[in-house]
Chain A
Amino acid sequence: MLKIHSLQWLLMLFAGGLFMASCDIIGDVNPPEPLYSPTLIGIQVPANFPSPVVMPDNPISKEGVLLGRTLFYDPELSLDGKVSCSSCHNQELAFSDGVSLGNFGVSGKELVRHSPTLINMAWMDQGFFWDGGSKNLESQAFGPLTHADEMGMSLDNLEKRLTADPEYSELFLNAFEDGLTFQNIAKALAQFERTLISSNSRYDKYVRNERGGNLNDLELKGLNLVQEKCSSCHSGELFTDNAFHNNGLDNSFTDESHELSYQGRYRITFELEDLGAFKTPTLRNTMVSAPYMHDGRFSGIEEVLEHYSEGVKAAKTTSRLLYQNNGKAGLALSDSDKEAIIAFLHTLTDEEFLYNPDFSGF
């Protein structure tokens, strides 16, 4: 063997010592009980609903939902400690905020788009935000959390701030194997949001033949009208196709400011046909979630129906679904049609959703 320096011998002895020590330890120590043993609950799919989107990387657990709900209502998630998700997503308003363009963020500046409702998001398969730019709830949360005019938080600050709170450490360890990380903040919020299911309106009880599911003649007429005239976009039991359409609000989409925010889906796809196309919101709970449209320009449902009846602008990319057979833009609704549609829309209000204690703050 080569000449070996005494320090090297020392290192060899040390390495050997460690080896011996490790041989001795085997079998002697029981690992501590892990905190992480989540109860998987999945999504309770209502009988009249289609299959939801499954996210295999983020299975829904009781612990994850509890954590997500805690985070959703916690203003500590924002830069100034005053803004929570619920500042712009109020349960009683179907998780919208009741104003056209909110200024509830940390900067106090008005946002450029209307705060959307949070309803049946587990079925949203074509992205989030009015333009679908965000591909899943896990990634969506990073937008408002970090935006300077919303919660304004830096992701590492967020992680550090929550780490300082021992209650959070435990909640995270219960829900996720790797505990508190900002990725798990997003995952927990996503889990909670997927539980926000609205499926117990009077209409639902009607289609499921359940007690209390009676619709009167006017409401039934409204249902038929919605199916006939609105269901190309507000389709199926979700009352939305979750897709993007230009619904004829404007003639021109040349404003490129705010990172193309006014151009709708176009800013994501750069397909000309998507110019001015925004995501179809659900009609569920629509009677409690005014104002309407991606910019909240209509304060009441009457204005919305007036728009679809007479106000649809025949821009190049206005959806062909909004044209009549005679080539005229708009759905030409009579006053009695509008009355019936409004009566029906009331049957889509789901009090159990709006006041469900499982969805509320603490």
Chain B
Amino acid sequence: MKKYLAIGTIVLASISCTETEVEYIEKEIEMATAGETTLVLDARYGDIDFELNKPMDYKFVEGDEEIDLKYEFTNLRYWVSNVILVNEDGEEFLVPDSHYLVEETNEIPIQDGSYNKVYPAKKREEISISDIPVGNYTGIKFSIGVAPEYNDNLSLQAGELNPLNGMSKSSWHWHTSYIFTSISGEMEVIKDEPEAKSFIWEVGSNDYYSQKDIQFDSPITISSKTTSSINLEFDVEKTLEVDAPWENNFIGASKPDLMEKLTNNHIAAISLVSADFEVK
């Protein structure tokens, strides 16, 4: 359909505009120009798909004891920013204003529910990136969190960055930081008399702004004449590896060591599945 529209536009344009303009448009169509790609961050839980509101088994060892937990998640949200595509010559293309919120979340009460307003339930794992210069790309880099320039000044905007989407709240305003990553829900310890409690794990502040570097198995060509996708997997189970999770059911700005652990886990939990392209 797009093709028909384009041809139709040229035909009709030739009636209304000058010949030079028509030649220009025809030439544009012939030449390969900047292209787009899709970055997918598929949330997994070990070998299974990550899902909200469904108990997921988790085992950890404390002392000599193996403890069984069940996690039931209500949200998983994190910022992906400063996306950089690296071409075969090692040149880097930084996607301008790249701040994307990747998430799987139930409704979130805005500012702890004091306003009877909610951020709606949402699932988003795909990031569309356009205006990428024509080239053969061998890898992608991106950071988890908000770039310091923007994280230091909540009045600046870039891409999807916005304090209204639940990744900013009063307790973090005192630090001037967005919430970089957030995972929350309920945890239940499995024993004769099971016990359950809620958990909220949040990471923020510039110290935990970390980059992930992914190399493709073989280069992908990105241009207006190709379609492509970069498919990554994010294993949520790996991010849960913190000491004494039962005691540390709240992790936030006041627990820097655990924030560091969660950050390292998050970066390590992302891996390449495939990077493919095909000519349109």
Give chain A's interface residues, CB within 8 Å of chain B.
1, 4, 8-9, 11-13, 15-17, 19-20, 23-24, 57-58, 127, 129, 133-136, 138-140, 142-143, 146-148, 152, 154-157, 182-184, 186-187, 190, 256, 259-260, 267-268, 270
B254's partner among A19, A136, A154, A259 (CB-CB below 8 A) is A259
Q: Does B218 contact A (CB under 8 A)?
A: no
Contact of B152 among A13, A135, A143, A267 (CB under 8 A): A135
Closest Cβ of chain B to A28, distance in Å, is: 15
Q: Do A15 and B8 touch (CB < 8 A)?
A: yes
Binary CB contact string for chain B from 131 to 173 against chain A (1 if under 8 A, 0 otherwise): 0000000000000000000001111110000011000111101
Count the B residues whose beta carbon is within 8 Å of the partner chain — how many? 37
Beyond A16-B13, A136-B152, whether A143 also contacts B174 by CB under 8 A is yes
Residue among B13, B17, B157, B173 facing the most chain A CB atoms (10 A cut-off): B173
- List A contacts of B169 (CB < 8 A): 146
Q: How far is the CA of A140 from the CA of B256 in the complex (A)?
A: 22
A-B CB proximity, top 4 nearest = A16-B12, A12-B8, A20-B16, A138-B155
Distance of A270 Cα from B253 Cα, bound (Å): 10
Report yes or no: B152 in contact with A139, Cβ–Cβ below 8 A.
yes
A138-B163 CB under 8 A given contacts A133-B175, A143-B173, A268-B175: no
Please name the residue on chain A nearest to B1 by beta carbon.
A8
Contact A152-B114, Cβ < 8 Å, known A58-B155, A143-B173, A268-B175:
yes
Which label, helix, strand, loop or mixed, suits the secondary structure of the A interface? Answer: helix
Q: Type the 1/0 row for B180-191, where 1 means its CB is closer than 8 Å to any CB of A.
A: 000000000000
16 A-B residue pairs with Cβ-Cβ distance under 8 Å, sorted by A, are A8-B1, A12-B5, A15-B9, A24-B16, A133-B174, A134-B174, A134-B175, A134-B176, A136-B153, A139-B154, A154-B111, A154-B117, A155-B111, A155-B163, A156-B164, A187-B155
- A64 to B256 alpha-carbon distance, docked (Å): 38
Whether the pair A135, B13 counts as a contact (CB closer than 8 A) is no
Is there contact, CB below 8 Å, between B12 and A13?
yes
Say which residue of B114, B173, B253 sits within 8 Å of A134 (CB atoms).
B173
| Known contacts A23-B17, A57-B156, then 6 further A-B pairs from the complex at CB < 8 Å, ordered by chain A residue | A15-B9, A16-B12, A16-B13, A133-B175, A146-B111, A183-B155
B4-A4 in contact (CB<8A) = yes
In angstroms, how far is the closest chain A Cβ from the Cβ of B118? 11
Q: Is the CB of B114 within 8 A of A154?
A: yes
Asked, given contacts A136-B152, A136-B153, A155-B164, whether A259 binds B171 with beta carbons under 8 Å apart, the answer is yes
Q: Is the CB of A19 within 8 A of B12?
A: yes
CA gap between A8 and B11 in the complex, in Å:
14
Q: Which residue of B lies closest to A270 (CB)?
A: B256
Give the docked Cα–Cα distance between A315 and B26 (Å).
78
B-chain residues with CB within 8 Å of residue A187 when the two chains form the complex: 155
**Alpha-carbon distance between A11 and B2 when the two chains are bound, in angstroms:** 11
CB distance from A9 to the nearest CB of B (A): 8
